[in-house]
Amino acid sequence: MPARRTGVDRRVQGNSTRAPARLTVTGGMKMFENLTGLEGSLFSDLRRMQQDLEEIFSGRTSPAGIRSVARGSYPPVNVGATTEGVDVYLFAAGLDPKTLDISLQQNLLTIAGERTVDMPDSAQYYRRERFSGPFRRAISLPEDVDPDEVEARYVDGILHVAIQRRETSRPRQIEVK
Amino acid sequence: MNDETDMTTRESGQVEKKPENVQTLRPPVNIFEDSEGITLEADMPGVSKDRLQIQVDNDSLLIEGDVQFTMREGMEALYADVNATRFSRTFALSRELETEGIDASLRDGVLVLRIPKRAEVRPRKIEVRVD
């Protein structure tokens, strides 16, 4: 993705400004030092870039959930919550809702399905970025979801699973008599 | 993320042109060619017909769409793979394509664009007659 690449480039440029200045040695050593200094800064830039990339892609900032999958897994999922319920959105265009298998066991929501993308053999392909095949995603929801109050809807290529929280765990207004 | 991709090359050597103000999503596409023309399929979940925009300007094709889905009031995100609500991607078209004849359809968030080739560049089958 070019956008991400330019982001990293910028960062490396920023770092290179504080490359070590090792050019104080005088005499015959100067040229040699110049070269190694240059080489050193180049390699340290590359090393820093590599570290930056690792940090970006590993997501080391927070510990990963045991069921979490790598970024870019299909289909992308968003989960939102209110005091009343939890909403799960699967961004899965072009699905046949009949192939979907949605189950909620306690607070673990599993959504499995298959997307078939027809690819004519006679055509010449330039890009194949669309996911094709079976998929499965498991999502841990808050503990207080009610497995009996689940509703799933498929609109414009988004699967929306709405789960209510249990009545007992909802905040209640207490009246003062 | 407005990147321009030449439709008939596998590698894109193009550099970003527009500064990005609003973060956009890059829809994954399949592009293939047959003797009649080029077909582009793009995944744009959450985009309906009235929120989809297809623009052809000279040799560039822009597909854009706004994502919409129902949300409860006061919703907080617990997890998000999708962090933007707009799909956008630009492609460079080549001259032998008939841009006036583009046919678009959108179903369940999948956009299918059919771009025909100009009649004069379509391969003609030459029949050999045996008398």
Question: Does B75 contact A80 at a Cβ distance shorter than 8 Å?
Answer: yes
pLDDT digits (tens, 9 = 90+) for B64-113: 999 999 888 899 999 888 989 999 999 999 888 998 999 999 999 999 99
* Preceding amide of B116 cis, omega within 30: no
Look at the block and give the residue holding tokens 């961004």: A91
Which of A156, A163, A164 is best to mutate for the B interface (most B CBs within 10 A)? A156
Residue A32 lies in a domain: yes
Say which CATH topology domain B4-70+80-115 has.
Immunoglobulin-like (2.60.40)
pLDDT value at position A14?
38
A161 reaches B (C-beta below 8 A): no
Instruction: Find chain A residues with C-beta within 8 A of B14's C-beta.
Output: 2
- Answer yes or no: do A159 and A107 share one domain: yes
Domain region containing A145 = 77-117+131-169
Question: Does A76 contact B81 at a Cβ distance shorter than 8 Å?
Answer: yes
How confident is the prediction for chain B on average, in pLDDT?
84
Instruction: Find chain B residues with C-beta within 8 A of A2's C-beta.
Output: 1, 3, 12, 14-16
Contact partners, residue B88, CB within 8 Å, separation at least 6:
B1, B2, B24, B25, B26, B62, B63, B64, B65
- Answer yes or no: do A91 and A52 share one domain: no
pLDDT digits (tens, 9 = 90+) for B32-77: 999 889 999 999 999 999 999 999 988 899 999 999 998 888 999 9
Closest-CA residue of chain B to A142:
B78
Number of structural domains (chain A) is 2
- Answer yes or no: do A46 and A111 share one domain: no
Binned at pLDDT 50, 70 and 90, residue A139 comes out as very high
- Answer yes or no: do A136 and A109 share one domain: yes
- Answer yes or no: do A151 and A106 share one domain: yes
- Planar angle of CA B1, B5, B9, nearest 5 degrees: 150
Q: Which of A2, A126, A129 sits opposite B8 (nearest CB)?
A: A126
Look at the block and give the residue holding tokens 């829809």: B27
Residue A142 lies in a domain: yes
A176 reaches B (C-beta below 8 A): no
pLDDT value at position B88?
95
Residue A65 lies in a domain: no
Q: Which of A126, A155, A160 sits opposite B31 (nearest CB)?
A: A126
- Percent of chain A's residues with pLDDT above 70: 60
pTM across the whole model: 0.68
What is the C-alpha separation between A13 and A41, in angstroms, rounded? 12
- Percent of chain B's residues with pLDDT above 70: 83
Handedness of CA B40, B14, B51, B95 (dihedral sign): negative
Based on the number of CB atoms within 10 Å of its own CB, is B130 exposed (0-12), middle (13-18) or buried (19 or more)?
exposed
- Answer yes or no: do A6 and A44 share one domain: yes
Q: For residue A10, is pLDDT > 70?
A: no
Nearest to A155 by CA among B71, B54, B28: B71
Q: For residue A169, is pLDDT > 50?
A: yes
- Answer yes or no: do A25 and A92 share one domain: no
pLDDT value at position B121?
77
pLDDT digits (tens, 9 = 90+) for A14-36: 334 444 444 443 444 444 444 54
Domain boundaries, chain B: 4-70+80-115
Two tokens at A23?
A: 């050019």
Binned at pLDDT 50, 70 and 90, residue A42 comes out as low
- Answer yes or no: do A19 and A97 share one domain: no
